[in-house]
């Protein structure tokens, strides 16, 4: 049983049109960690994710996933190990019914029909969507689609779950449901998001990307208390932390601006520093 | 509401009808497909001046609408929408065919009118058969039936993709068109230049979506062929009974003019 | 312009379905061997795009009437001939099933008319040749218009032939042609212009979208399906035109018999079997014998007598059908 680490070393990616999306990205994520990757739009988050399952190939630098380096030959294995959930569930649910979508991965892995059936049932019950089995995807709600999209990846039994903006476009209830779901997983979780409150709740470690480089990499709470860093990277504190008397005494997120709505935290966050 | 909104919602409704669970819906799609095709071929094979012999064929759509619990008004509306084209061509018949072929009391009836009416009847029958087929079977099931009848797999796969994304893309198209319409204040319709750029944007977004779908497929182990599961549906006794009974009825109705016989009984013409 | 079930005869429908099905099979084989597996989602999704784009009407300048994109040529430009043919076929299938646009039997004709001409004739032999290796806006517009016009002219000619040969409509060939071709000339120009606008938009924004097809090896030869189809058209055309002329004269067989034996009938021995067979064939009439369906009103005397009972019986039949429907409905809901 390997350690299922995810490691990048001096990763650099330049697109065909010359845009340097990633300049120098290095980090190491151990098995079972829950890591948030945050940054402004255009910081390189999505590009980085696409490297993790081999869709994009780095201009220079190394990626190590699980046992070995990411190479053309190891792609099939990598894609089974790393389960990627994309931003728009409509892109991910392309089969006629939910069952077909969730079964797509296992069928491609060459499993027998009985095994496929077992995997699908398992995945659907983990996302609490057993009753949606035979439905066509376009009749599902946003929250249901998101959960099924996760199920399509879970049925392949990945070791590492990568999610790109999972709470995007969800209503509060669906968002709450999704966060609870993700908390219950014990995989290595790598999440990119603008939903900083979710990152605060879900991820004990955060990596901050800015203009293709890693600006910070450490415990989530520490990062969110570093106002200067957040400022530089076009970020701010999660809403739950804004106006907290201990973290930010009498200070607004952006000193030169006044927020439109007085932020107030309904849930106190942990102060174990 | 935009005209597009209307036809789009209409389209969705037909798809939803197919999800119902009635005795007709539960039949194997191959049975319904074959019966419908036989129906259409029989109707269409009538002589151009035939009307009365075609009328009993109405029993098929009527029975299916009734047992399949389909909204009759909705089906009728959809049928009436498609009649115009065939009728347009049909209306030329009385112009070119003025031979008297019937006399009704003091009136001479031109062949052209009879054949025009025949065209109308054909149009109603064939259109309703097609719509009812989809309303009781659903598109994916029809594709599956065609696959079992040896439709090539690459074609089937892309057909299902098309169907899957029609809703997503028409939704996008509707939103774009609506956004544009809200900025024209009803003064002008959409000009060609603007359509070109609107459609161009939609196309590029579609292309990018296709790339993302491909990414998602690769991420789940896609390597060139899409394997779909073999569904449980099999051609059972009920399906055979359905198909055979209806086909025999169609053939009998085709060979013998039932209304003629019925009418003769009443008018003592035998 | 779609062919409709109401205007088609079984023979024409079946023949063109055979041609279309054959072409589908050939294109599927070609696409399967295609190395670029991006085409798998692309064909379906672009078909959905065309479907969506068709729902958006635009105003045609100078006439004020509304038109919509056909999409056949556009798909051919984006996907290449074989993939485009499959895509066009699927769009037509959805239209036939969901909007009863055309009909299921006439679908074979429509796939042929709206798929083969843009994908295998207009695109490779006209558009590609005119655009050449260095596309520029004016060339694209010019090429697209010519290609679209030719594709639509062929398509509408095919509809006319199919309708006339089917014999359900009484429109004479000449009149029909005069009606259809000019209209489709205008439609073709509009289609060409719109296609060109979309293509040049895409070319300016993301040229690599078109690049993947432009760099493709030019088609060595027409796919077999098209050749087969061409022969079929020729056969139907010859058969149709000849039998048209033949219908004024006694049946060809009888005519040649008359010249040989001096009488219009076969000798006694073969007559019974011939009679029986022709009686069956007459009744079945699924595949009519090669003479055109009756257009001179031959059976008029028989019809006059039957008209009254036909009408009475027809009315009764309608009542029976409607009643049956109600009865079945009530049995269901009880």
DSSP B45: T
* Chain B interface includes C22 (CB < 8 A): no
Mean pLDDT of all residues in B82-86: 83
Rounded alpha-carbon distances, angstroms, from residue C161 to A147, A200, C20, C131, C172? 54, 71, 17, 32, 10
Residue among B139, B202, B259 whose CB faces C317 most closely: B259
> For residue C302, what are the contacts with CB-CB under 8 A and spacing of at least 6?
none
Q: Could you tell me which of B258, B255, B113, B249 has the C-alpha nearest to residue C312?
A: B258
Q: Give, for all 273 residues of chain A, the pLDDT tens digit.
A: 456 789 999 999 998 888 888 999 999 999 889 999 999 888 889 899 988 888 888 888 888 887 777 777 788 888 888 999 999 999 999 998 899 999 999 998 889 999 999 999 999 999 989 999 988 888 898 889 999 999 999 999 998 999 999 998 888 998 999 999 999 888 899 999 999 999 999 999 999 999 999 999 999 999 999 889 988 888 888 888 887 776 655 444 555 555 555 454 444 555 544
Flag if B47 and C285 touch (Cβ within 8 Å): yes
DSSP B188: S
Flag if A94 and B163 touch (Cβ within 8 Å): no
Flag if A107 and B229 touch (Cβ within 8 Å): yes
Instruction: Give how far A260 is from chain B: nearest CA, Å.
Output: 28
Q: Is the pLDDT of residue B58 over 80?
A: yes
CA quadruple B7, C66, B190, C139: dihedral, nearest 10: 120
pLDDT, residue B7, reads 66
Give the pLDDT confidence of C201-223 residue by residue, as tens digits. Answer: 988 888 888 766 544 443 334 44
Q: Could you tell me which of A87, A84, A37 has the C-alpha nearest to residue A196?
A: A37
pLDDT, residue C241, reads 47
C221 near C161, Cβ under 8 Å?
A: no
For residue A199, give both structure tokens: 């990152």
DSSP A204: S
Average the pLDDT over each of B183-187, B237-241, C248-252 and give the range with the smallest value: C248-252
Instruction: Give how far B131 is from chain C: nearest CA, Å.
Output: 6
Q: Is the pLDDT of residue C236 over 70?
A: no
Interface of C with B in 207-236 (CB under 8 A): 209
How much is the CA Rg of chain B, to the nearest whole Å?
Answer: 24
| pLDDT class of B97 with cuts at 50, 70, 90 | confident
Higher pLDDT, B44 or B269: B44
Q: Quote the mean pLDDT of chain B.
A: 85
Higher pLDDT, C249 or A21: A21
Residue among C28, C97, C310 whose CB faces B155 most closely: C28
| pLDDT class of C303 with cuts at 50, 70, 90 | very low
* Chain B interface includes C162 (CB < 8 A): no
> For residue A16, what are the contacts with CB-CB under 8 A and spacing of at least 6?
none
Dihedral sign computed on CA atoms, order C19, C25, C26, C30: positive
pLDDT, residue C294, reads 42
Percentage of residues of chain B with pLDDT beyond 70: 92
Mean pLDDT of all residues in C298-326: 66
Which pTM was predicted?
Answer: 0.80
Instruction: Give how far B180 is from chain A: nearest CA, Å.
Output: 24
Mutate to test the interface with B, among C49, C77, C78 (most CBs of B within 10 A): C49
Flag if B262 and C313 touch (Cβ within 8 Å): yes
Tell me how far apart the 2 most distant CA atoms of chain A are, in Å: 62
DSSP string of A243-268, one letter each residue = T-TTTSTT--SSTT---SS----SSP
Mean pLDDT of all residues in C108-137: 88
Mean pLDDT of all residues in C126-137: 81
Q: Is C221 exposed, middle or buried (0-12, 13-18, 19+ CB in 10 A)?
A: exposed
Q: If phi over 0 gives left and psi between -120 and 50 gives alpha, with beta otherwise, what is residue B257?
A: beta
Q: Quote the mean pLDDT of chain C.
A: 75
Residues of B whose CB is below 8 A from A88? 209, 212
The SS3 assignment for C260 reads helix
Residue among A91, A97, A103 whose CB faces B213 most closely: A91
Residues of C whose CB is below 8 A from B188? 59
For residue A11, give both structure tokens: 């990763």
Smallest CA–CA distance from C307 into chain B, residue: B102
Flag if B118 and C87 touch (Cβ within 8 Å): no
Smallest CA–CA distance from B155 into chain C, residue: C28
Flag if A79 and B220 touch (Cβ within 8 Å): yes
Distance CA(A180)–CA(A194), nearest Å, equals: 18
Mean pLDDT of all residues in C259-288: 47
* Chain B interface includes C20 (CB < 8 A): no
Listed ranges B3-12, B20-29, C145-154; the one with the highest mean pLDDT: C145-154
* Chain A interface includes B217 (CB < 8 A): yes
pLDDT, residue C292, reads 33
Give the pLDDT confidence of C83-94 residue by residue, as tens digits. Answer: 999 999 999 999
Chains interfacing with C (3 or more CB pairs < 8 Å): B
Q: Is C157 exposed, middle or buried (0-12, 13-18, 19+ CB in 10 A)?
A: middle
Instruction: Give how far B19 is from chain C: nearest CA, Å.
Output: 15
Q: Could you tell me which of B24, B223, B36 has the C-alpha nearest to residue B146?
A: B36
Flag if B11 and C326 touch (Cβ within 8 Å): no
Rounded alpha-carbon distances, angstroms, from residue A195 to A86, A166, A183, A191? 15, 9, 15, 10
Dihedral sign computed on CA atoms, order C302, C307, C313, C317: positive
The SS3 assignment for C7 reads helix
pLDDT, residue C239, reads 46
Q: If phi over 0 gives left and psi between -120 and 50 gives alpha, with beta otherwise, what is residue A118?
A: alpha
Instruction: Give how far B236 is from chain C: nearest CA, Å.
Output: 22
Distance CA(A241)–CA(A200), nearest Å, equals: 9
Residues of B whose CB is below 8 A from A154? none
Give the pLDDT confidence of C160-194 residue by residue, as tens digits. Answer: 999 999 888 888 888 889 988 888 998 999 999 99
Residues of B whose CB is below 8 A from C193? 192
* Chain B interface includes A7 (CB < 8 A): no
Q: Strand locations in chain B, DSSP E?
A: 100-104, 107-110
B115 near B48, Cβ under 8 Å?
A: yes
Q: For residue C207, count other CB atoms closer than 10 A to its CB.
A: 11
DSSP A21: E
Instruction: Give how far C255 is from chain B: nearest CA, Å.
Output: 25
Smallest CA–CA distance from B256 into chain C, residue: C283
Instruction: Give how far A140 is from chain B: nearest CA, Å.
Output: 12
Question: CA angle at residue C176 from C172 to C177, to 5 degrees?
Answer: 120
Residues of B whose CB is below 8 A from A157? none
Instruction: Give how far C127 is from chain B: nearest CA, Å.
Output: 19
* Chain A interface includes B228 (CB < 8 A): yes
The SS3 assignment for B269 reads coil
Flag if B215 and A99 touch (Cβ within 8 Å): no
pLDDT, residue C307, reads 58
Give the pLDDT confidence of C33-73 residue by residue, as tens digits. Answer: 876 778 888 999 999 999 999 888 888 877 777 888 889 99
For residue C9, give both structure tokens: 């005869």
Residues of B whose CB is below 8 A from A104? 217, 220-222
pLDDT, residue A2, reads 55
* Chain A interface includes B221 (CB < 8 A): yes
* Chain B interface includes A66 (CB < 8 A): no
> For residue B186, what are the contacts with CB-CB under 8 A and spacing of at least 6?
none
Flag if B22 and C69 touch (Cβ within 8 Å): no
Chains interfacing with B (3 or more CB pairs < 8 Å): A, C
Interface of C with B in 272-311 (CB under 8 A): 283-286, 293-297, 300, 303-304, 306-311
Smallest CA–CA distance from B210 into chain A, residue: A91
């Amino acid at each position: 049983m390997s350690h299922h680490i995810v490691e990048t070393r001096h990763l650099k990616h330049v697109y065909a049109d010359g845009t340097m999306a990633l300049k120098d990205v290095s980090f190491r994520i151990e098995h079972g960690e829950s890591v948030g990757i945050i940054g402004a739009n255009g910081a390189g988050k999505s590009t980085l994710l696409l490297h993790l399952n081999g869709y994009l190939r780095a201009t220079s630098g190394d990626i190590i996933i699980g046992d070995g380096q990411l190479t053309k030959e190891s792609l099939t294995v990598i894609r089974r190990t790393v389960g990627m959930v994309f931003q728009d569930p409509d892109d991910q649910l392309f089969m006629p019914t939910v069952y077909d979508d969730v079964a797509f991965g296992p069928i491609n892995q060459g499993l027998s029909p009985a095994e496929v059936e077992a995997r699908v049932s398992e995945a659907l019950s983990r996302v609490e969507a057993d009753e949606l089995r035979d439905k066509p995807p376009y009749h599902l709600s946003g929250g249901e689609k998101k959960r099924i999209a996760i199920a399509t990846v879970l049925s392949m039994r990945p070791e590492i779950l990568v999610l790109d903006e999972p709470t995007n476009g969800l209503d509060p209830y669906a968002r709450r449901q999704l966060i609870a779901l993700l908390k219950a997983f014990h995989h290595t979780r790598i999440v990119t998001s603008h939903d900083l409150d979710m990152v605060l709740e879900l991820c004990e470690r955060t990596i901050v990307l800015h203009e293709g480089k890693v600006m910070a990499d450490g415990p989530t709470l520490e990062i969110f208390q570093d106002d200067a860093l957040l400022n530089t990277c076009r970020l701010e504190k999660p809403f739950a932390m804004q106006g907290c008397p201990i973290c930010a005494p009498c200070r607004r997120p952006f000193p030169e601006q006044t927020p439109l709505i007085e932020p107030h935290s309904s849930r106190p966050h942990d102060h174990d520093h | 509401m935009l005209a597009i909104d209307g036809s789009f919602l209409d389209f969705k409704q037909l798809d939803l009808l197919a999800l119902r669970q009635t005795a007709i819906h539960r039949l194997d799609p191959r049975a319904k497909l074959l019966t419908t095709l036989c129906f259409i071929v029989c109707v269409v094979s009538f002589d151009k001046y035939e009307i009365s012999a075609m009328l009993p064929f109405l029993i098929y759509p009527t029975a299916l609408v009734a047992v399949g619990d389909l909204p009759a008004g909705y089906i009728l509306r959809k049928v009436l929408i498609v009649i115009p084209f065939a009728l347009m061509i049909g209306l030329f018949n009385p112009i070119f065919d003025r031979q008297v072929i019937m006399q009704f009391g003091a009136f001479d009836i031109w062949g052209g009118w009879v054949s025009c009416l025949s065209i109308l009847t054909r149009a109603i029958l064939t259109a309703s058969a097609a719509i009812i087929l989809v309303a009781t079977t659903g598109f994916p099931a029809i594709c599956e039936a065609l696959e079992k009848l040896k439709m090539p797999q690459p074609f089937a796969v892309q057909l299902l993709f098309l169907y899957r994304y029609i809703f997503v893309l028409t939704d996008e198209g509707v939103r774009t068109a609506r956004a544009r319409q809200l900025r024209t204040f009803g003064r002008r319709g959409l000009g060609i230049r603007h359509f070109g750029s609107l459609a161009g944007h939609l196309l590029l977004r579609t292309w990018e979506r296709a790339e993302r779908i491909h990414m998602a497929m690769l991420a789940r182990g896609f390597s060139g062929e899409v394997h779909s599961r073999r569904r449980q549906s099999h051609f059972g006794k009920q399906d055979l009974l359905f198909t055979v009974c209806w086909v025999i009825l169609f053939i009998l109705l085709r060979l013998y003019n039932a209304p003629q016989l019925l009418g003769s009984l009443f008018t003592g013409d035998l | 312009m779609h062919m409709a079930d109401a205007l088609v005869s079984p023979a024409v429908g079946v023949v063109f379905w055979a041609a279309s099905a054959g072409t589908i099979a050939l294109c599927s084989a070609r696409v399967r061997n295609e190395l670029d597996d991006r085409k798998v989602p692309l064909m379906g999704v672009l078909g959905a795009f065309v479907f969506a784009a068709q729902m958006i009407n635009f105003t045609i300048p100078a006439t004020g009437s509304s038109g919509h994109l056909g999409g056949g040529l556009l798909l051919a430009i984006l996907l290449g001939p074989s993939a485009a043919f499959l895509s066009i076929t699927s769009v037509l299938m959805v239209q036939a099933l969901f909007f009863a646009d055309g009909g299921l039997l006439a679908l074979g004709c429509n796939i042929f008319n709206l798929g083969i001409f843009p994908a295998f004739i207009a695109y490779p032999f006209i558009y590609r040749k005119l655009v050449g290796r260095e596309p520029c806006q004016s060339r694209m517009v010019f090429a697209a218009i010519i290609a679209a016009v030719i594709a639509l002219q062929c398509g509408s000619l095919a509809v006319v032939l199919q309708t006339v040969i089917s014999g359900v409509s009484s429109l004479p060939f000449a009149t029909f042609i005069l009606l259809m071709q000019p209209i489709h000339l205008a439609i073709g120009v509009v289609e060409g212009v719109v296609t060109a606008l979309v293509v040049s938009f895409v070319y300016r924004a993301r040229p690599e979208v078109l690049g993947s097809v432009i760099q493709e090896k030019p088609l060595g030869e027409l796919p077999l399906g098209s050749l087969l189809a061409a022969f079929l058209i020729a056969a139907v055309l010859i058969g149709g035109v000849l039998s048209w002329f033949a219908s004024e004269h006694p049946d060809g067989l009888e005519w040649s018999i008359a010249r040989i034996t001096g009488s219009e009938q076969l000798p006694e021995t073969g007559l019974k079997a011939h009679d029986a067979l022709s009686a069956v064939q007459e009744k079945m009439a699924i595949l009519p014998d090669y003479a055109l369906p009756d257009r001179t009103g031959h059976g008029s005397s028989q019809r006059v007598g039957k008209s009254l009972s036909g009408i009475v019986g027809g009315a009764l039949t309608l009542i029976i059908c409607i009643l049956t429907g109600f009865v079945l409905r009530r049995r269901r809901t009880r």
